[in-house]
A and B are shown apart, each in its own frame.
Chain A
Amino acid sequence: MSSLASSREIQEKVLATQGRPGAVHALLIVAAAAAAAFGAWCWSLQIRYGLQVSGLNRPVGWAIYITNFVFWVGVAHSGTLISAVLFLLRAKFRTAVYRVAEVMTVFGVMTAGLFPIIHLGRPWFAYWLFPYPNERHLWVNFRSPLMWDVFAVSTYFIVSAIFLTVGIVPDAAALRDATKGWRQRFYGLFAFGWQGTDEEWRHYARAYLYFAAFATPLVFSVHSVVSWDFAVSILPGWHSTIFPPYFVAGAIFSGVALVVTLLVPLRRILHLESLITPWHLDMTSRVVLLTSLVVTYSYILEYVLAFRGPPSVERSTLAYRATGPFAPLFWTMVACNCVIPLLLFLKKVRARPAALLVICVLVNVGMWLERFVIIVTSLSHDRIPFDWAGIYRPTFVEVGITLGSLGWFFLWFLIFVRLLPVVSISEMKEASVHGVEDAA
């Protein structure tokens, strides 16, 4: 099979997703904008009255904001995993799903980046995080994991945005040549004069390989760096050598689950069922299952390491996590991340998009809880029993900002899917000619 007969059909299906949103889509955009506006108002309260409006207090100085930061950086990982790592591994199922994952990465990092600034309390001093020449000759501390974070997350955002933009170029050219008026001019901006000549493809293929090669170590490094925010401290519950692989596996787990969460309704709303097929969902959900098993292993290992040695503060903290006032959250996390994903072993569950959606939403709830449990329980139960009485409760400002971050993320995402192709047209054309799914 080498005919390009289905190429135009693919292009027209993707083109049909562009432009004026339907009623459901418009409603979702309004809801996301309202949530983002509510979050912004809550943040304005915090700026006005200070961190006293949050539930942060001694000993819990890091809580829901840092939980959100780690969660959003985590979900951003799947984009690079699917687009770069699976590209290098030549996994064919990535073709239909990688654009959604890349878009999710960029907007996920944009959302994550808000939280350290919100957490600062005085966001107007956020520029202190960056190294710049100043009159006091005072520089940032590059020995601090928080500074590694600034560099890791900034690099991740820039590289992911470049990767996404470069991937869009041939698709924007195809849409530019298929449209007229302002849409032609708009797509022309993203096409950068692309004509699809052999010279362009020759350099493009090589450059894309390099982008993938650069992005791949970032998948593993960024969340390792985020885990070091915790692991290089000496706090029981945080100070652990298994944190980097544990966090990376968790990041990929939550990220791929969010990709499935987005894909299932998206393919229906945008009528992309023939491009994003049950096979693509099946293969993606297998990644969710695999990473769920790795995360489960990490949970078990964390407890085994603490309980095999002599009695320690670490053991006490982990026992508190599973039996203390936060135990319902801990066991919900275990159910969502370790037990429910086991259903994905069943082929008939993987074949049902609705079941996948429910499982993946629960995985995201579980992964958010995991970050919350790690951060808050460890701080609530440190070495000084005097501190143990304090139970952290998020205030409505913190909950509002968290809801606002969801609105912020979905607002960007929902606007994007109407402006630029959410499925890679050129790679789908290549896959259709080579009969990828038939060969798999």
Chain B
Amino acid sequence: MKISYNWLKDYCKHGLSVEKLAESLTNAGLVVDTVSPVEDDFCLEVEVTSNRPDCLGFIGVAREVATIVRGKLDIPDVGYDTMDENINDITSVTVEDNELCRRYTARIIKDVKIGPSPGWLQKKISSIGLRPVNNIVDITNYVLMESGQPLHAFDFNKLSESRIVVRRAKKAETMEAIDGSKCTLTDDMLVIADFQKPVAIAGIMGGKDTEVSDTTRNILLESAFFDPRSVRRVSRKLGLVSDSSYRFERRVDPECVDWASRRATKMILEIAGGQAVEGVIDQNYLEDKKVCVTLKMSHLNRLLGLQIEKDTAKDILGHLQFSINSETEDGFSVDVPSFRGDVYREIDLIEEVARIHGYDKIPIKSNIGVKLTQDNQFDKITEKTKNVISGLGFNEVITDSIVGDSQNRHGTLWSETSSLKILNPIRQDEDLLRKALVHNLLRVKKHNQNYGVEKTDIYELSKVYLPKEDDQLPEEKECLCLLGEEGYLALKGVIETILNHLNIADSLESTHFNFGLFCPEKSAELRLGDSVLGFIGELSKEVISDYGFRSKPCVAELDFNILIDKTNLESSYRKIPSFPVVTRDLAVVTDEDVTWADIKRCIESLKIDYVDDIEFFDVYRGKQIERGRKSIAFRITFRADDKTLKSDEVDILKEKILTNLSNSLGVNLRA
């Protein structure tokens, strides 16, 4: 809402400088965004919150100012003389839908002289950015800005059968609006029509055919109250927004409908000449309900945490035009003025008193004391995980949950169901909720590579959205995605380090896994016990060339909920062994299809108490090994809790292990 500093003084002689005015309004809840000089005046851009349509007019803002300075509000006089002819003799108004049109008033002014408005009027409306058109249109705009009540003037002679019908549009009816847009209407839209056709879309915009022009002599002046929700719906549907629709959809003051009509009529007579026809057509379907609210000072002071005197509260509300109708020791009751539809409870009155009294007067004090807080398990594990990953050199990234279809290009990880789709996306090609993080990380890698950052060890811990049936909310799976530049084993090592720090008892099992994103050789499904933890793999050639990567990244995506389930935060101390260990380094030759996991499992299956650790060294293929076979070197650490193991004892165990390996897996000691 634009406010002219000079114009505002017509309604309240506040005596504030423009800076002080802006500050005072801001502190009362009407934020002044900008103050711009306009000739000898200032234009203030005031932010009016959606609960305060009463401040969408100068008088409403002046009322606030008058309350702030405890001054007087000057409301213009609206009396005028009329001719003998009665309005009912020359026109009629039929309201067919009184749900959508709650009140409709019409006045007629005859023999007006259309022309430019006088200079003072042009200057006023120009000061708030309105373009002068002609005296009649300028006056309706002036009164709209003054009162917040939208008005419309029809060229009365152009109305078929000289009458108004307020009805729903017929199917596929059309109308050209004043701004030139051609509207195709539907039967849920309220229109103002004459005998034949729509002449205005109710509360939104008038029609071109019946607008006031240079040849207009007689005017029908409309002032009405339209259902806010309906105006809002139609305005959105047609994509038509106007100063009128903006106010109607926020609810105009029912009692101002007639006042604004009188005010405009009086101004037309003064400025454009002519004569007012006697009387008014006023179809009023609004219930005349008085809202009465009681305020208890004890409630007010307890909620705000201060001490305000009853007289102060009464004074504030009085200036805001709430009328006090009864009083008790602790409080009083007020009648709420019709323009304050937002006030209907005690709490609303408390807010009125508080904001005018000043939030700065409320003390900054408290006795809220201490309270036991509950530890958030998710936060603890998240923090621990992120710390471990950071320590290993990975940077955290955060990417958009809304993605395009390319996320499915190389297959989907967690769900085959099609992604949730946004009905009103900003960009048509980005309208899906991601089902995996990995594609976003590849895009981050690509972005960095484009800017010359070659090594991107990154991770993200965020949600993916897996659709469920029908209208259910999706499963929001918390996933941990890692992208590393050092290959499969290095990234797997990162994951193992995380598991280790989270004290997870289940051992990590990897099985070959074929997935479009990964190179078939170096990719695996990762499991912890019965649960699928996630997937890991170096990128396939196709994906690497698709993104144009210059390195060969390895990625992993894990179900973080599984990590949370398996985490054991209550670790206990393990005694440091007091007897020395004995180690044996072994190199064995096996067929290609025997895995390290097989060998390890085979040794563990013997359940030898003294085996403390089995540590992998390396795999060797080459000259000294037969083609199609490989050599695996590892170390077994033996230890006893109660004695020093003798070399002979250990050698017996070693032989036992080797025999078992040979029998079960055909694995033999390297010659």
A-B interaction:
no
Q: Which residues of B contact A (CB under 8 A)?
A: none
Q: Which residues of A contact B (CB under 8 A)?
A: none
